[in-house]
Structure 1
């Protein structure tokens, strides 16, 4: 697990010494991603260069140093991530011809594989998380690529026939590139989703690679997708699973055991995140079953019992025999951490669980360098409670019918005036009119995907960006990068699962985990994120994943019963939420109020601050607006840090 930066010219070359200095300054900006070692490489003619920061996990010797040049001398690689099956790749290469290995790093394995088979064939083989920069000396070609589920990030700018790239945005300016202005379209998307999906970013000049994408600079800049999740889901869905449900359970169990075993390989101390939920409990159980000694497990305890699962996590840890550590999170902990968020997340990012995730990573890093997590289980096995609500809403809409035109006309009535009047009468803010409008707009939805966006989007009344029309306010799919009508070919439940796997998972959850963990120089591995497991899950009948009798995530739950007693895990899902509603009225109130009423000049001209201030005031008076306020506060905090 590491970080890298780089430059590649389409035609020209530059002074090698000057480029080395820029690469060094740039990579120092992401030293937290790799505090153990650093190095720079520039080709002889000064046409391309790479800078690298290393977090030593496998092959701690100099044989694992990067940037690394292939034995044949043709390729140079900078690689951030882990290839979990690289020993299998080594065996396959050795079966063809003997290899004189210099060490046992997965980076060396990648280079030998690319030299022998070519990049595309090697990619088909890989089980891993990765962002890669590969320079081909013979073809004078730079290739950038990102793993299938977007676990590792890679940003780039292409200006004046020069490609600049880095693991984090903060490293790009030191390469001598302009980030550009704040992108208004990205702002609109951010307020709707609370994150900015690839390929966009908060800056007009900066793009990020999509999950499963290759970017190549040869005669020009070309983009290609080597892993198309939707096409893979279509293919898996079209081929009926041949076995029984029991066959499926055994196949999942066997595959997950193998995936966990691969992710336990480490030359550094390793543990697991254990929230007490199904996903992390199963990962911890499988990890512990494969270790002779007690594995370390870590959890967060909230003082507010509505959000606390620490007792359940402790009971599971006790049953499994892990070496368990927990940390109690208070409002003061959140206050102490909140000012660091803009530094950790270079773009505005507003998933509230970023706070406990950062604290959990800090806790784990005191003891281990690698942690296994349960991320991805909800997407692969239908674990979100909103799925049932969305499906009920969609089925009700189809059976009821009704007129979109009438619903839209009614939605455009001044429901905000009703809220103002009711607020005066009740002597506290009203959101009754807003709820009526929300229901009417759901009735206007044309697809399951659009209804899903009504359930998960924010700022439903109006987006607080200047100049946004009513049409833009109510176009919920504008911020969603998938074609919902096309996704519906997968069936209702699988459409929701695959959509989350392709957007919410890589662009929200993996961003949250990568930045929080790398800020503390901790590597997080996710056994559920594997292409074979995804294709298997997408091949099952939808009713195996969720049904009225067994509920949500019934396949994974049944497998967990083999390892942990039923009574320890049969309870309602809480998720990794925080008591944000109360925090914004107490310890975080002064911090939030300063941002709302004294915004920085960087972003304030683009925003309707009166709308944000009204939401803040309503929240303080009893209306629950924390879902809308958190992205506004994260944007304002980011602007204060980056645009001052």
Structure 2
């Protein structure tokens, strides 16, 4: 695992500038640095190395191909690279190997098969910058699901429009050299950088808590889409334009292809096929020349990954979890029980609130783009603990998206089936009456009634839930209903100046033919929530501690197998992830697993009223809010005061605003 960066189009490429850019992502690769310049082309490639495979100098980057045509800066892991080497050798296309790194394997494949065919043959996570010395072209490429990040744009004005969900992307002309890198902070280190805030990205950010799609928080700087490659010529760079990326792999197309294959309609056969594919993925991803372990929360996904690791390991797998001093958010005892049953070498970080709070001021540095999924804090803490003992950790991420693990996958179709029977005007009238009572008043009613109600009917956030129900009632379609429940903030434009209504919920997620409602939700969560939130959270939190995290569920064969399983088997007997549950029961007793889904949460409501209050008040001061004049300062302060008084549950919306303000204070973007 590494970090890459570079630039193209500077009259005299400076190795010192490239090194300065790479220094900003030192955490992604603390073991080695490499810089290479092609002076006649005005190009520089820089690399920071975290040594995982081939720890010798033979793995140093940027690396030249044996044929002399290619130079690569590569971030990631190719899990099947030994298989690719064998294919090359059997075809007589292998060079005289200098080492056993996957980078050298990739270069040989590019020379023998071409770039696109090689990417399609490779299984792994990666971001690549590849210079073709003969053709004088630069190719940037990203893995299937976007596990590894890659930003690209021109230093001034930059060259891809800010395509949000549902928007059409239009080309924009840029000026200055082309910049690219694993993180935005690498681009910002270039002396010609002039970053201007992309105000059009704020609505989506405030709604979902992340900057999604191809957009970035800076005008014209884009994320290369997952499963795509972008090839630039000298003429492109001189003209300040970025051509459209070529999609070499598509989750939607791969899902359709799997559904066209023979379906796994027999439930037990489906479980066995998933076991076969996932076991193979785990085996490949356990390949490393450094110590390796796994995250273990005690939930279904991470427990299954650890069980399959332990089944194939020669010694106890090292597992890691984090426990909190607040029992409401502590799953560490469940993880320890699973670890004891499987016989792993387990460690628990007993995190205190103080440890998490100390991390809060560092978040704008760690996430150099505004990011507001508060589970970023425990993820960063467990990554820090894990890195003290191993360099690589496997995780259970993506199990929910592939196999139907979120509550919305179960109840959105159920609720919509009932809602659509009632005319929309009647539903809106009922919603209006529910919203007429403030959430805090409803909470007080529940407190009074709670004295006589059974415990199972008592709700701590009764008012918030009823207001969410009101929003559900107002949904005009099943797509709108899903968009609402998938949002952190249903009305993000209320926090922005102006009275524009914002995007309609239906426009946020495209309609796709041939998918039923559950399949459509799974694909939307894969393409958006997983890519824009989950993978970003894990990548930045883990790489901040120089820890490589691998995701066995995101193997293309596992994906194909999952999409061969009918939705009615994935969600069966009123439960999500039915297939994964049955597979896990082959390794772990049911009683160790069956409990309500908790998630990787923190007591954000209490922290904002207590130990984080001073930090928040400082960011919400008039002077601080004035730095982002597009925010409606009055509305933001009103939300803050309501939260302090316990009038509603606004912690998530406020966290998004606070992270935006903290990011602005650290990086000081130009305003349009």
TM-score, normalization by structure 2: 0.88
What is the aligned partner in structure 2 of residue 261 from structure 1? 283
Q: Give CA-to-partner distance per residue, 1:606-625, whole Å, 9 cap, x none.
A: 11122121222111212221
> 1:21, 1:530 → 2: CA distance?
38
> 2:582, 2:439 → 1: CA distance?
50
2:102 alignment partner, one of 80, 100, 106? 106
What is the aligned partner in structure 2 of residue 357 from structure 1? 379
Alignment partner of 1:166 is 2:181: yes
Return 5+ residue gaps in structure 2 as ranges.
155-173, 237-241, 448-460
Alignment partner of 1:217 is 2:229: no
Alignment partner of 1:15 is 2:44: no
Tell me if structure 1 keeps the 8 A contact 2:124–2:143. Answer: yes
Question: How far is 1:464 from its partner?
Answer: 4.2
Q: Give CA-to-partner distance per residue, 1:419-477, whole Å, 9 cap, x none.
A: 49969x99x9xx999877755554453443321111121333553443343622x7234
Question: How far is 1:410 from its partner?
Answer: 8.3
2:127 alignment partner, one of 123, 128, 131? 131
Question: How far is 1:366 from its partner?
Answer: 0.7
CA gap 1:446/1:422 in 2 versus in 1, 3 angstroms: closer
> 2:112, 2:517 → 1: CA distance?
43
Tell me if structure 2 keeps the 8 A contact 1:27–1:51. Answer: yes
Tell me if structure 2 keeps the 8 A contact 1:164–1:177. Answer: no
2:657 alignment partner, one of 611, 619, 632? 632
Count of aligned pairs: 628
TM-score, normalization by structure 1: 0.92
> 1:292, 1:599 → 2: CA distance?
59
What is the aligned partner in structure 1 of residue 538 from structure 2? 513
Q: Give CA-to-partner distance per residue, 1:131-162, whole Å, 9 cap, x none.
A: 00111111111111111111100011133374
Q: Give CA-to-partner distance per residue, 1:495-532, whole Å, 9 cap, x none.
A: 11111111111110110000011111110011001122
Question: How far is 1:345 from its partner?
Answer: 0.2
Alignment partner of 1:345 is 2:353: no
Secondary structure at the counterpart of residue 514 of structure 2: helix
> 1:439, 1:287 → 2: CA distance?
42
> 1:62, 1:324 → 2: CA distance?
33
> 1:391, 1:116 → 2: CA distance?
49
Q: Give CA-to-partner distance per residue, 1:352-372, whole Å, 9 cap, x none.
A: 100000000010011111111
Alignment partner of 1:369 is 2:399: no
Question: How far is 1:407 from its partner?
Answer: 5.6
Q: Give CA-to-partner distance per residue, 1:141-189, whole Å, 9 cap, x none.
A: 1111111111100011133374210110011122234343211221111
Tell me if structure 1 keeps the 8 A contact 2:622–2:633. Answer: no
CA gap 1:248/1:633 in 2 versus in 1, 3 angstroms: same
> 2:362, 2:264 → 1: CA distance?
51
RMSD: 2.6
What is the aligned partner in structure 1 of residue 580 from structure 2? 556
CA gap 1:337/1:437 in 2 versus in 1, 3 angstroms: closer
Secondary structure at the counterpart of residue 449 of structure 1: helix
CA gap 1:34/1:461 in 2 versus in 1, 3 angstroms: closer
Alignment partner of 1:586 is 2:610: yes
Map of 1:107-256 to 2, 5 A cutoff?
107-158=103-154, 159-160=174-175, 162-218=177-233, 219-220=235-236, 221-222=242-243, 223-241=245-263, 244-256=266-278
CA gap 1:151/1:345 in 2 versus in 1, 3 angstroms: same
Map of 1:530-549 to 2, 5 A cutoff?
530-547=555-572, 549=573
Tell me if structure 2 keeps the 8 A contact 1:179–1:203. Answer: no
Tell me if structure 1 keeps the 8 A contact 2:625–2:661. Answer: no
> 1:415, 1:604 → 2: CA distance?
34
Alignment partner of 1:463 is 2:493: yes
Tell me if structure 2 keeps the 8 A contact 1:135–1:141. Answer: yes
